[in-house]
Amino acid sequence: MALLEIKNLHVSTEDGTEIVRGVDLSVNTNEVHAIMGPNGSGKSTLAYALMGHPAYEITEGDILVDGESILELEADERAQRGLFLAFQYPHAVPGVTVASFLRSAINAVRKAKAGGEDDPIKIPEFRKRLDAAMKQLKVPKEMAGRYLNDGFSGGEKKRVEILQMALLQPRLAVLDETDSGLDIDALRIVAGGVRELVGPEMGALVITHYQRILNYIKPDFVHVFVDGRIVREGGPELAEQLEAEGYETFTPEPVGGEA
């Protein structure tokens, strides 16, 4: 049984436009999957649908985690099942330090796990876990005391995001690397963090329109996404082909021939 199984998924926006048009995809622990596709092909919409974003309606198909449908679950209940979406954190939060943000993120998952009862992590235990994660991911110590994303560089935001991932110990991390401002450092941080954390306990789905990031992450599987559908699947060599040829050759023939 797959950790995550997406079956014939169709997703529409609130105005009824179909963006994701029949996606099948399975992800297991120990696996890094990359979804690559041009701007506007529906990659982020797929990620939002996985997390239960209310602006997107699933009109057909199913999303299963450990064989159970999660369609009826709220975003926090999905997090409790082990899903983690990297872009799901607030922008600048003045007055909230990185450490306290991370602690409340952990507590939110603990609360959901305890059936809605508060079950806050003890401060010394939190400190221990934070220190260990920061060491593992080579995040500078002073980062913990800074205000969340307040004047953070792109790379620093990525560090906090990966740190959050390490602390929440999700089973499936979904990373939507939409930020065109990502520089090589930020890419390395994401790639290093994903590689460090993917293993018997975790799988990852990395969404990008960069070929570049895959030079660092080395996905086990590449899915080419065009116009709301997966049009080609393969191993890392597919990313190299994309690099050389672009998306053009992967675009399905237009219906009705040339205009």
Ligand X SMILES: Nc1ncnc2c1ncn2[C@@H]1O[C@H](COP(=O)(O)OP(=O)(O)OP(=O)(O)O)[C@@H](O)[C@H]1O
* Contacts with ligand X, residue ranges (CB under 6 A): 13, 19, 37, 39-45, 55, 178, 209
Supply the minimum distance, in Å, between the C-beta of residue 30 and Mg ion. Answer: 26
Q: Which of residues 167-186 bind Mg ion (CB under 5 A)?
A: 178
Supply the minimum distance, in Å, between the C-beta of residue 233 and ligand X. Answer: 17
Judged by beta carbon, residue 55 or residue 123, the one nearer ligand X is: 55
90 closest CA partner among 134, 152, 28: 152
For residue 228, the SS3 value is: coil
103 closest CA partner among 119, 115, 92: 119
Supply the minimum distance, in Å, between the C-beta of residue 170 and ligand X. Answer: 21
Judged by beta carbon, residue 11 or residue 197, the one nearer ligand X is: 11
Judged by beta carbon, residue 150 or residue 227, the one nearer Mg ion is: 227
CA dist 3 and 200 (Å) reads 11
215 closest CA partner among 27, 36, 46: 36
Judged by beta carbon, residue 106 or residue 207, the one nearer Mg ion is: 207
CA dist 210 and 134 (Å) reads 27
Question: What are residue 84's phi and psi, to 5 degrees?
Answer: -140, 125
Judged by beta carbon, residue 49 or residue 197, the one nearer ligand X is: 49
CA dist 43 and 49 (Å) reads 10
Q: Which does 180 bind (CB under 5 to 8 A by kind): Mg ion, ligand X, none?
A: none
Supply the minimum distance, in Å, between the C-beta of residue 39 and ligand X. Answer: 4
205 closest CA partner among 77, 26, 13, 15: 26
Supply the minimum distance, in Å, between the C-beta of residue 163 and ligand X. Answer: 24
Q: CB of 216 within 8 A of CB of 187?
A: yes
Supply the minimum distance, in Å, between the C-beta of residue 237 and Mg ion. Answer: 24
Judged by beta carbon, residue 48 or residue 101, the one nearer ligand X is: 48
CA dist 1 and 192 (Å) reads 28
Q: Residue 74 corresponds to which tokens in the numbers above?
A: 């709220």
Q: Which does 41 bind (CB under 5 to 8 A by kind): Mg ion, ligand X, none?
A: ligand X
Based on the shown chain and the rule CB under 5 A, indicate whether residue 44 belongs to the binding site for Mg ion. Answer: yes
The binding site for Mg ion (CB under 5 A) comprises: 43-44, 178
